[in-house]
Amino acid sequence: MYDIYIYASYGVTAVLLGGLIIVSFRQLSRARAHVAALNQAASLNQDDKKKEGA
Amino acid sequence: MLKALENISALYANPTRFMGLAAKLHMPLWALAIGLLAYGLYRVANVPADYQQGETVRIMFVHVPAAWMSLFGYSFIFFASVTALIFRHPLGHVAARAAAPVGAVFTLLALITGSLWGQPMWGTWWVWDARLTSVLVLLFIYLGYIALWQAIDEPIRAARAASILAIVGFINVPIVKFSVDWWNTLHQPASVSRLARPALHADFLYPLLIMGAAFLVLFLAITLTRMQMEVLRQRLRARAGKGGAAHV
């Protein structure tokens, strides 16, 4: 049985690093979703222009 | 050697090529980080109690690697900023900005775990000695750097201002490192830097080095994840017409 300071140290480490990892992955997946949505919108626009041209 | 480094640097200066490389490195780097961390924690759990510190010595295995990463993180930001500002490497600002929150978290972790070790060992949570104060200043420099990026809307100006702050703020890194030698501090001097004759017994040294390696790979894995996010955000900003991705 360790004292409270050891549990607190490892607990704070897990919370801070875990939080940073979760936030980083969430931000990355949001950025990927935004880029994918824009790419899809751009390709739809191109298709519309091609149809108009034809 | 220098030519080879220049060639590698030029090859991955293109953000699209960098994203390809990052996609390949992403999973192996995270797997290595998790593996090293699990092995490090297993070794730490089997470390004997110290004859002076008792079980509290276990705090050292997160405190010391976190403190190493706080200095490594700032050095990383410094070199990335120099690369961006002087050599105009397009990924320099991306790398520096991505590493800043990671370095700040490791610095905060070093301060909190140091405080949690200080209370049972020194009988106090905090003393204004040179090492503790200079690490607190390092945390404020990290926060200032992150705030500067947020405060300026125009990305090119923000990148330039943040780089200058990062380069000027680097003066604090040797102060943190050598504060225990230059001033009379309550904080003990370095125990591991003399690798030929370290002041630690092997029972403590190897788990500490494994945890150090785990934190280093974790730092690189989180920074790589954040760099990918920054490149994508630049693309979004460039499309929205708020600043050129090629410049920042």
Quick: pLDDT tens for A4-26.
999 999 999 999 999 999 999 99
Joined tokens for residue B128: 């204004």
Chain B residue with the nearest C-alpha to that of A22:
B222
Task: List chain B residues with CB under 8 Å of A21.
Answer: 222, 225
Q: What is the ipTM of this complex?
A: 0.86
Helices (H), chain B: 2-11, 15-45, 60-85, 92-122, 130-151, 155-169, 172-182, 202-240
Give which of B217, B172, B154, B152 is closest to B77, Cα–Cα: B172
Task: List chain B residues with CB under 8 Å of A2.
Answer: 55, 58
Three-class secondary structure of residue B50 per DSSP: strand
Joined tokens for residue B151: 């405060």
pLDDT along chain B (248 residues), means of 10: 60 76 91 96 89 87 96 96 88 94 97 94 90 95 95 90 94 89 77 65 89 97 95 86 50
Q: What was the pLDDT predicted at B136? A: 96
Q: Which residues of B100-129 are buried (b: 16+ CB within 10 A; e: fewer)?
A: bbbbbbbbbbbbbbbbbbbebeeeeeeeee
How far apart, in whole angstroms, are the C-alpha atoms of residue B59 and residue B116? Answer: 8
How far apart, in whole angstroms, are the C-alpha atoms of residue B85 and residue B93? Answer: 8
How far apart, in whole angstroms, are the C-alpha atoms of residue A14 and residue A8? Answer: 10
